[in-house]
Amino acid sequence: MNEIDLSRAEWHKSSYSSQDGNCVEIATNLPGMVAVRDSKAPQGPILVIGHEDWEAITRQLKGE
């Protein structure tokens, strides 16, 4: 399995994130992919998906 280089990831929390620590962070500056992680465990697992799939997920969540 190939390692994905996330060293240049610029992580951002959603403006909808609460102050209780239940947040996800995303990095959208990576070529061809979006990375998603739990803000409480930044060294934990990271989900990496393509931009088109990320857009489909966000449209679904918005009910579009």
Local confidence pLDDT in tens for the 64 residues of the chain? 678 899 999 999 877 776 776 788 999 999 999 999 998 888 999 999 999 999 999 999 899 8
- 5 three-class SS: coil
Asked whether residue 15 is assigned to any structural domain, the reply reads no
- Could you tell me the maximum CA-CA distance found in the chain, to the nearest angstrom? 36
Asked whether residue 14 is assigned to any structural domain, the reply reads no
Asked whether residue 10 is assigned to any structural domain, the reply reads no
The answer to whether the Cα torsion of 51, 54, 60, 64 is positive or negative is: negative
Identify the domain containing residue 28 by its residue range: 23-62
Asked whether residue 29 is assigned to any structural domain, the reply reads yes
Asked whether residue 58 is assigned to any structural domain, the reply reads yes
Q: How many structural domains compose the chain? A: 1
Asked whether residue 37 is assigned to any structural domain, the reply reads yes
Instruction: Report the predicted TM-score, pTM, of the whole model to 2 decimal places.
Output: 0.82
